[in-house]
Amino acid sequence: MKLNLTLVTLIVLAFAASLLAGRIWLPLASLLSPHDSLAGLIIFDVRLPRTILALIVGAVLGLSGAALQGFTRNPLAEPALLGVSSGAALGAIIAIYFGLVALSPITGPLMGMVGAVAACALTFALGRNGTVALVLAGAAVSSLTAAGIALALNFAPSPYAAYEIMTWLLGSLADKSWTQVMLVAPFAAIGCVLLAMTGRALDALSLGEAQAQSLGVNLTRLAAMVVAGTAFSVGAITAVSGAIGFIGLVAPHLVRPFVGYAPRRVLLPATLAGALLLLCADIAARLVHTNPELRLGVFTSLLGTPFFFWLVVRIRKVAP
């Protein structure tokens, strides 16, 4: 409880910072400025949607990471490792590539979800026999989708289109407006509700499948909820923000020791930690002045990789 309150407090602080920080620094008082002033325009039309999007994207990554780690009982599970993110990316790229997005912007998130559902279903279907099989299946599905993305780049109609796809793949929250927030929010919400409802079953699953089943957990239904929840939420956010790695891996690990490791109790704080991490990363990426700009996805990867190494070393120590 204390942990959640701390995280919420930090999120509120980061939220305020995110509205004020950037190429143009705004004074604290401008948070109360009217909508039609310059400061008001920057805050309400530029930084507020970007901030809210960062919170949604981070929360989805944190929650889906926690749910996938609980479901697979594998500390390395995250949407990207299981091919879900790249599936969503491929779906969204197909939408961009064939000009569907130009016809109707909602096709981006929709195709993202279709790609995520397909990738997720394929991974879980191939990797049913334990966690090693699942991680391998995730790697296989990721390669498949990577090949699809490479194909799209190969046959891109123009160098400009290829560049467009490339930069989009790197992941960013720059130049996002309320339209994107409105597109993502409903799907992210549906997915998050599905994932949040898996808590009790995930707890029982820490005893293994046989005992979980004997405790009344319907394993098929649980798998369907995890797949659908991840696909909806991660599919939608990836279609808007591009691929952003490591938040889903890191967030659950950061909070797990504070809540006694029970998978259900990890869900909420991992969601909050994911939102906080991504918002902070986005603020930091904004403040590093480079040309071209440092992409958020690249930034989180740079931050996340050392953590991955630490996890590998730790697992090697813990493993028999």
Q: Which residues bind another protein (CB under 8 A)?
A: 73, 196-197, 199-201, 203-208, 210-211, 213-218, 260-263
Phi, psi of 23 (to 5 degrees): -55, -40
CB of 31 to another protein, least distance (A): 35
Nearer to another protein, 30 or 213 (CB): 213
If the CB atoms of residues 261 and 309 are measured against another protein, the closer one turns out to be: 261
SS (H, E, C) 250-305: HHHHHHHHHHCCCHHHHHHHHHHHHHHHHHHHHHHHHHCCCCCCCCHHHHHHHHHH
Minimum distance between the CB of residue 232 and another protein, rounded to whole angstroms?
Answer: 18
CB of 75 to another protein, least distance (A): 9
> What's the closest the beta carbon of residue 231 comes to another protein, in angstroms?
20
Q: Which is nearer to another protein, 143 or 211 (CB)?
A: 211
Q: At what angle do helices 219-241 and 84-97 cross, to 10 degrees?
A: 50
- Phi then psi for residue 157, to 5 deg, are -60, -30
Beta-carbon neighbour count of residue 318 at 10 Å?
A: 8
Which stretch of DSSP H or E encloses residue 320? none
Nearest CB to another protein, comparing residues 100 and 262: 262
Residue 205 CB, nearest approach to another protein (Å): 8
Among residues 99 and 208, whose Cβ is nearest to another protein? 208
Written as six digits, the tokens of 289 are 């002045």
CA distance 150 to 189: 31
